[in-house]
Structure formats: C-alpha cells, structure tokens
Structure 1
Amino acid sequence: MAKRLDHVLVIDIESTCWDGGTPPRGEANDIIEIGLTPLELSSGRRLEKRSILVRPERSKVSPFCTQLTTLTQEQVDGGILFKDACKILETEYLSQERLWASFGDYDRRQFDKQCRDEGVRYPFGPSHLNVKTLCSIAKGLPTEVGLPQALALYGLKLEGTHHRGHDDAWNIAALLAEFLKRTRN
C-alpha cells in the first residue's frame, strides 16, 4: 500500500496518570483522550482540531490527572471504547496509510502497549514522526525541550490548554507546519 503524503496526522494523547507516576496496584495507564489535527502538507493548514474521549477500562482518573489535563472521570465515562477510537482513526482519517506525528515517543509507545494489552489492531502504519526530536536537532539543541519551549523557539505561542490532547495536537501541528515552511524556503 502506497503511503499518502497529503496530510500528516498529528496526534496527542492524554492517559490516566498519578502523582509519582506509578499506577495503583491493579491499574494500568489508559488512553483517555486522543487529540487529532490533520496537517495539510501542500498548504501547511491545520484542517481540524478534534478530541476523541476514551473511556478507561483498566484505571480511574486520579485527582492529579484531572489537575494536569482538566479531564474528569465523569467526562471520560462518556467516552467511547479504545478499540472504537482506533477504528475512527483508521476509517475516518486513513491512519494506516498516512504518516502520523506526535511530540515525543510516549504517544507511539502507549498506543503500541495498549493495543497489545487489549488485543486491538494498531491503528497506524509503520511511519511515525517524532516532532520533539526533529525540532530539537534542527535547532542544534543538546537535549529535547518541552512543547511550550519548542513553540517559543519557533516564534509560536501556545494556544489553548497544555495537556489537553486536542489543544496539544493543534499546537504540535503548528510547530510542524512552521518547521516545514522554514525547511522549504
């Protein structure tokens, strides 16, 4: 299957999390939001800002998680199953055929792990672009920086709420668009 290079699917997930990082006994990190912004490569336009809320099945949203993401247990209880969210990516966004990008490697690893754990088909093709690494090496930085710092390095402002998937995907797409614009000139 030929890879479509019309859009890059910029994804940012939020997962259940706890102060200190380790899930309580018997719980596992669950994706609770898939933020998505398709970036049209020919124009550099961000086409959509979408939030897909996912109902966690192996854990609960902690107070720490709500403080970080603003997402509550009640909100994600109204979400869809993880397997159904993956199906949306495949059918509505042709995620198996398109390059997808995230800021760092956490999103790719979490998708891979949760798909394996739940027996769900991985919704993406083999190509993933790590925007965090790309932008850091392009700037000659000795280490990677966080999203707010990366946006500032490229003269961009953080829009929306940091650590909300749809807002972060929107910002990552802006960063990638700016990077590509500078590369093409």
Structure 2
Amino acid sequence: MQPKQKSYFLIVDLEATCSDDGSIPRQEMEIIEIGAVMLNRKTWEIDSEFQQFIQPVRHPRLTKFCTELTSISQQDVDQAPQFSEAMSRFQDWIYPLFNNHIFCSWGNYDKNQFMQDCQFHNVPYPFSSQHINIKQEFSEYLGVSKKFGMAQALNHLGMELIGTHHRGIDDARNIAIIYKYMKTQKLNKLKNF
C-alpha cells in the first residue's frame, strides 16, 4: 500500500548572513529571511505565502555584501524578531491549515541552514525527514547532470525572474513557478501517452 500523497508542497527559500571576505564562516551564517509558499498539489496554484525577516545574533550587523546581494537592510533585521519567535510564527502559519505538506527547496542549503539554526537556537527542527530537492529534480527532469541555479533554470525554460533575486519570498515564488511547470508538463505527457 502506497503512503497517502501530501496535499501541499511547502516551498521555502532562505536568506542568511553572509560575507565575501570570510568574516562570516559558513557555520556561523544565520537566517535573516524566510520566504515560503504553499503550492497546492491539485490546482498547482499558490494557496498561501509567508515572509518573515529575522534578527541575527551571531553577526548582528549585516555586511555590505549581504545587503547588496539580498536587498535586505539593517533596519529590516533590527526590527525583526529573533529566530525562536520567527519559527513560532512560521509554524503558526503552517499548522493546522497546511499540516499535510512536503518541505521543498532549491538544493539542500535551506534544509541544512534550518537544521544549523535550530540547533544553535535550541529550537526543534519543524519538518519531517522528507525533503524534496527541486534543484536535483530539475536536472533529472531535463536528463542532465548539470546543476542549475534557480535564475538559470528560469532562463533555461524561457521564463522571466519575477521580483528581486536573493529575496526569500520572491525566490520561493519563482521556485514554485518552475516546480509547477515541471510537474504539469510531466502530467500532460502521461495523459497523452
């Protein structure tokens, strides 16, 4: 007997503290934005969205590189809640309306960053062990070994990037567009087979 299909794809994109000079090592990066959308598996439409800035504590001052890359300002994060409160808000959005979901992201970075931040802040990891790496699925869909960045994938499909690249909520919306395209094309091929 097959397990019951999940009703939603929870597509998440995170932005985190970063530097181009090594002043913030990978293991000290912290989430500064959660962008998420709930993609309905039946309609292939986004049913709900979530966006939250987070105040970093390890490196509270954003680097110039980080601000230029993400367009997230120091004021955005200074006025934001810290990680545990932000995660509480995130889970209040997910549950109970969307508890039948699969956590998805472009690559494994977002999953690993959540795990790292949850451990550092002593907050339980909020997802099941199931995770879909859409970046990997996209390469499999094309039948290539090359790994595409999200913007490259849109370009490859002849689609325009909507919003601001490296903003969590905009990237989550764009990833949802790619995933919808892949899944509906696959379904159409199966119907016409």
TM-score (norm 2): 0.87
Q: Which residue of 1 aligns with 2:45?
A: 45
Q: Give the conservation status (yes or no) of the 8 Å contact 2:8–2:100.
A: no
Indicate the residue corresponding to 2:191 in structure 1: none
Are 2:156 and 1:153 equivalent residues in the alignment?
yes
Q: Determine if contact 1:11/1:36 at 8 Å carries over to the other structure.
A: yes
* Cα offset, 1:156, TM superposition: 2.2
Letter of the 2:173 partner, please give it: W
Between the aligned partners of 1:3 and 1:117, the Cα distance in structure 2 is 34
> What residue number does 2:6 align with?
5
More displaced, 145-154 or 69-78?
145-154
Deviation at 1:184, TM superposition (A): 1.0
Aligned to 2:126: 123
State the Cα distance separating 1:14 from its structure 2 match: 0.2
What percent identity do the matched residue pairs reach? 34
Deviation at 1:129, TM superposition (A): 0.7
Deviation, structure 1 residue 22: 4.8
Provide the residue aligned with 2:82 in structure 1.
81
State the alpha-carbon separation in 1 of the partners of residues 22 and 184 from structure 2: 37
Partners of 2:86 and 2:39 in 1: CA distance: 20
Q: Work out the CA distance in 2 between the residues paired with 1:123 and 1:52.
A: 16
Deviation at 1:97, TM superposition (A): 4.7
Is 1:36 aligned with 2:16?
Answer: no
SS of the residue aligned with 2:165? Answer: coil
Unpaired runs of 5+ in structure 2? 189-193
Indicate if the aligned counterparts of 2:13 and 2:168 stay in contact, CA closer than 8 A.
yes
Contact 1:160 1:167 in 2 (8 A): yes
SS in structure 2 opposite 1:181? helix
Q: Normalized against structure 1, the TM-score is what?
A: 0.91
Aligned CA distance change for structure 1 residues 21 and 103 (closer, same or farther; 3 Å): farther
Q: Does the Cα contact within 8 Å between 2:7 and 2:100 map onto a contact in 1?
A: no
Q: SS of the residue aligned with 2:15?
A: strand
Extract structure 1 runs of 4+ deviating beyond 3 A: none
Larger CA deviation: 72-81 vs 41-50:
41-50
- More displaced stretch, 71-80 vs 90-99: 90-99
How far apart, CA to CA, are the structure 2 residues paired with 1:39 and 1:148?
A: 19
Query: CA offset at residue 164 of structure 1?
Result: 0.3
User: How many residues are treated as equivalent by the alignment?
Assistant: 182
Counterparts of 1:48 and 1:162 in 2: how far apart (Å)?
20
Shift of 1:57: 1.2
In structure 2, what residue type is equivalent to 1:105?
N
- The 3 A distance-change label for structure 1 pair 157 and 99 is same
Question: Over the residues paired in the alignment, what is the CA RMSD in angstroms?
Answer: 1.9
Q: Over alpha carbons, which structure has the higher Rg?
A: 2
Deviations 1:39-94 (A, max 9, x none): 01101002234321111111121100000000111111111121122222322213
- By how many angstroms is 1:136 displaced? 1.1
Distance 2:174 2:166 in 1: 11
Between 1:152-161 and 1:100-109, the stretch displaced more is 152-161
CA distance, structure 2, for counterparts of residue 99 and residue 36 of structure 1: 12
